[in-house]
Structure 1
Amino acid sequence: MLTGTRIAFIGGGNMAEALLAGLLRKGVAAAEHLTVSDPDGHRRALLAERFGVAVHADNRTAAHGAELVVFCVEPQVLDAVLDEVVSSLQSRPLVISVAAGYPISRLQAHLGTATRLVRAMPNTPSTIGEGVTAVSLAPGLSSEDQDRTRCLFESVGKVVVVEERLMDAVTGLSGSGPAYVFAMIEALADGGVLMGLPRGTAQVLAAQTVAGAARMLLEQGTHPAVLKDRVASPGGTTIAGLSSLEQGRLRATLMSAVTAAAQRSQELGKEESHHL
């Protein structure tokens, strides 16, 4: 869907780098059709050397003539960036923003007649091609543009489409979720160390166990409770461990973590809107 499409990335940070790497690694796009803008000269030099793409200090130059423009800048500067480049979007490209907490209506307000708009939230494992991206689509977005959006983010992982009102819940789950998993891996490894395993060995065991269990769930499409029950034999070691987790309220605590992060995302969105 993106073969030959001229794609501009406004902002050359970690997410832009991840998407560039994914597109080129999977052969979805060619370097000569990719352009990046960033104010940092060292960053521009790194991206040009690593990916062979055109780089610019000026956002308008990068956006000019692009058929797909991906805004990879922080939400607090996106207002100014949109106002800066709007005159360069005369070709009415598909516009995608990965700025957290920045609604489609606000994109519309700054881009005037633009209607081909997408709000996306990829998470940090996208940097290694194992991410998940939630996308919300502007009303009436064509099926072709929906396919282009999916193709872009599938280069760095899986894609789900959600109503925009659910983006705060996405933030609390997949956006903040990697940190919860890192904390769990650390705790599992600590348990192994407590029982005598060397730290390095315990960490590999914990991390690969989490990675393998997640892949097993995704590939088999089985409910996690069913997979859990297959491991927990009557009177065995696993059910003893699960009993301890229940006593520690692991599931309720994780649910509370998602809720707390989602609520904080809502608060930050309201705070940002008050500054307009």
Structure 2
Amino acid sequence: MDKHIGFIGSGNMAKAIIGGLLESNFIKREHIYASNRSKGKLESLGNEYGIQVSESNSHVAENVDIVFLSVTPDQYPTVIEEVRDRIKQDAIIVLIAGGQSIEQNESRFMKEVKMVKAMPNTPVLVKEGLTTLSFNGLMTDTDRQFIVDLFNKVGKTEVIDEKLMDIASAVGGSSPAFIYMYIEALADAAVLYGIPREQAYAITAQAVLGSAKMVLETNTHPAQLKDEVCSPGGTTIQSMAALEKNGFRSAIIEAVHANMAKLTEK
């Protein structure tokens, strides 16, 4: 693959993507560029991955075909003003900051530019991420497939309408925090009954991982999979009744409502 990819800003998410691309041999390491305001972080990144690093955002922008804007949302206006006249004519801009629309950032470039909104979640760090993608009208079918292939190196992808990005972020981007809390609570219960903490986390986390794979790989409705565990009059159905009594489902739905309210507040 001869394309060059650049990351303006090289925090944990950028590092995770870079690591996945290199591990999968999707791109040569000398074809990856990254910039950061911290010289120490750049040196560490260069030493760890053997990629091209620079303190200059413009240097990255003018040398790559795919530009990841992996800085915080408040830095977008400044960074785009800095690089908009330095990007290649056919460059693809990838937005990976929350609250940044395609239309908003197209206007900042003050010219037509291929653009992708991508919302990866933190499990990209272990190559099990979920990235939702939306494309603007200038992206060709080849461009779209390339971006999908790229993010598939750190997990799975779903292409959706941009108007659904907020809810996709709420259920795909924020939900790992919900699940970590569930794992912690379940492990606490295990510890209460005498299982050592380390083993409690191993048991509960593997149960979550295995259950997720059952949903994804069997294409069986989650309700059916649940029913298959619940024997009549057994212990699991008693547990399910307790969860229902304490509002487990409604608590999850309310958490998503709260997320959406925060995303859409003015």
Same fold (TM over 0.5): yes
Which residue does 1:191 correspond to in 2?
189
- Residue 69 of structure 2 corresponds to residue 77 of structure 1: no
What TM-score do you get using the length of structure 2 for normalisation?
0.97
CA distance in 2, matches of 1:201, 1:60: 49
Q: How does 1:90-169 map to 2 (within 5 A)?
A: 90-169=88-167
Which residue does 2:4 correspond to in 1?
6
CA distance in 2, matches of 1:100, 1:189: 31
Which residue does 2:220 correspond to in 1?
222
Q: Cα RMSD over matched residues? A: 1.1
Unaligned 5+ runs, structure 1: 271-276
Q: CA offset at residue 138 of structure 1?
A: 0.7
Unaligned 5+ runs, structure 2: none
Which residue does 2:40 correspond to in 1?
42
CA distance in 2, matches of 1:55, 1:98: 20
Determine which of 197, 206, 209 is the counterpart of 1:208. Answer: 206
Count residues with an aligned counterpart: 266
Q: CA offset at residue 201 of structure 1?
A: 1.6
CA distance in 1, matches of 2:28, 2:223: 43
| Cα shift readout 1:79-129 (whole Å, capped 9, x = no counterpart) | 100010011114230111101110001110111223311111000111111
Q: Which is further off, 131-140 or 94-103?
A: 131-140
CA distance in 2, matches of 1:204, 1:69: 38
Which residue does 1:52 correspond to in 2?
50
Which residue does 2:254 correspond to in 1?
256
CA distance in 2, matches of 1:152, 1:82: 23
CA distance in 2, matches of 1:14, 1:263: 27
Structure 1 residue ranges, 4+ long, deviating more than 3 angstroms after superposition: none
CA distance in 1, matches of 2:203, 2:110: 53
Q: CA offset at residue 240 of structure 1?
A: 0.6
Q: CA offset at residue 149 of structure 1?
A: 1.1
Q: CA offset at residue 195 of structure 1?
A: 2.0
| Cα shift readout 1:186-218 (whole Å, capped 9, x = no counterpart) | 110111122222222211111111111111211
Partner SS, residue 88 of structure 1: coil
CA distance in 1, matches of 2:137, 2:264: 22
Report if aligned partners of 1:170, 1:262 keep a CA contact under 8 Å in 2: no
The higher relative CO (CA closer than 8 Å, separation ≥ 6) is in 1
Q: CA offset at residue 140 of structure 1?
A: 4.3
What TM-score do you get using the length of structure 1 for normalisation?
0.94
Which residue does 1:273 correspond to in 2?
none
